[in-house]
Structure 1
Amino acid sequence: MATDLRFRSVWRIPAERDAVRAVLGDVDGYAEWWPSILDAALANHDSGARGGHLVVRWPRAGALRLRLAPMSSADDVLAARVSGDLLGWCSWHLSTDAAGGTCVVLQQHVLLRRGALRALARIAPRRLRTDHAAVMRAGEAGLVAHIAR
C-alpha cells in the first residue's frame, strides 16, 4: 500500500447547516466533542496568517501531531493544508439533506510522513483504514451529541 492516501467520510448530522458549520469551523473546540482529539487550536499570528494544530489519538500509532493552515474556500466548504505527521489537505463539504439536517463530507488526501504509519500502511493497510473509520465514527457521534446539547 502506498503512503499516499485518500479518505472520504460522510456524516449525517440532524442539525441546520449553519450550526454544523459553526462547530466545525471552531477548531479550538474540537477536543470538547471529538474524543479522538487530544488538543486543538487555531490562531491568528502577528503576521496576519492563520494557522493551528491538532493532536489526534490514533489507535495504533499513539498521537498524530498535525499543523493546519486554512485555505480559502466556498461558503459550504472548510479546507486546510495539513503538515506534521501527515502532509496534504483536508476539507469539509456541507450541504442540507432532505430531512433538513446536514450532510458533511470529509475528504482527505495525505502522505504519511511518520515511520510507524508508513509501516502500518505497508503491512496492514486494512487496519489503517479501520482505525481511520473509528476516529471518524467517534467524531460524528461526538458532533451529534454536542449539537444536541
Structure 2
Amino acid sequence: MDWTHYRFRTLWSLPVPPAAVYGALERAEEYPAWWRQVRDVTRLDDTTGVVRIRSFLPYDLSFTVREVRRDPSAGVLEAALSGDLQGWARWTVTATPSGSLARYDQVVDVNKPLLSRLAVPGRPVFRANHWLMMRAGRRGLLARLQAV
C-alpha cells in the first residue's frame, strides 16, 4: 500500500438550487471568503491558480490547480492538482428533491516531505483533518448561499 495515496469522497446535501451551488463552486478565487481553511487562491490565468490550504493540523499545503473540465449543464468541475498534492479533484452538483447534492471526489498523492515521512502513523489523523476541512467548507458555503 502506498501510504501517501488518498481517495476522498464527500457529499454535501444543501437546501439550495444546483445552479447556485455550482456558481459558488466555480468561483474558486472566492473560496477564502467562505471556507476558512482555504487560505489563499491566486489566479495565474483563466484556467490555472495556486491554492494554499490549512485545516486543523499546523501545516499548509500549496498546490497548482488546472481546470480540465467545466460543464455547467452536467454540474461538473474537474481539476488537475500538482505541488504538495498530485492528482485530481472533481465537484459534481446534482438536483435533489430538497435542493442539491454536491459530491466531491479527490484522488491524490501527498508530496509534502514532512507528511510523507509521517505517512504511516499520521494517516488516520490526516484523513480526520480532511474530514474537518470538508465539514467546515459545507457550513461556510451554506451560510454564504443563504445570505444571498
**What's the TM-score, normalizing by structure 2?**
0.91
User: What is the CA distance between 1:60 and its match in structure 2?
Assistant: 2.4
Query: Are 1:71 and 2:68 counterparts?
Result: yes
Partner residue of 1:60? 57
RMSD, aligned α-carbons: 1.5
SS of aligned partner of 1:32: helix
SS of aligned partner of 1:52: strand
Partner residue of 1:115? 113
The correspondence of residues 136-147 of structure 1 with structure 2, limited to 5 A, is 136-147=134-145
In 1: Cα distance, 2:44 partner to 2:101 partner: 27
User: What is the CA distance between 1:130 and its match in structure 2?
Assistant: 0.4
Percent pairwise identity: 28
Q: 1:84-106 CA deviation, whole Å, 9 max, x = no partner?
A: 1000000001101121x110110
In 2: Cα distance, 1:73 partner to 1:22 partner: 11
Distance 1:43 1:14, change over 3 A: farther
In 2: Cα distance, 1:14 partner to 1:2 partner: 36
Moved over 2 A (4+): 41-44, 58-61, 72-75
Q: 1:25-71 CA deviation, whole Å, 9 max, x = no partner?
A: 00110000001011113342xxxx62001110133251111110000
User: What is the CA distance between 1:125 and its match in structure 2?
Assistant: 1.5
- Amino acid in structure 2 at the alignment position of 1:94: V
Structure 2 runs not aligned, ≥5 long: none
- Amino acid in structure 2 at the alignment position of 1:16: P
SS of aligned partner of 2:29: helix
User: What is the CA distance between 1:72 and its match in structure 2?
Assistant: 2.2
The correspondence of residues 7-26 of structure 1 with structure 2, limited to 5 A, is 7-26=8-27
In 1: Cα distance, 2:5 partner to 2:49 partner: 23
In 2: Cα distance, 1:73 partner to 1:87 partner: 20
- 8 Å Cα contact 1:61-1:117 kept in structure 2: no
Aligned length: 144
Structure 1 runs not aligned, ≥5 long: none
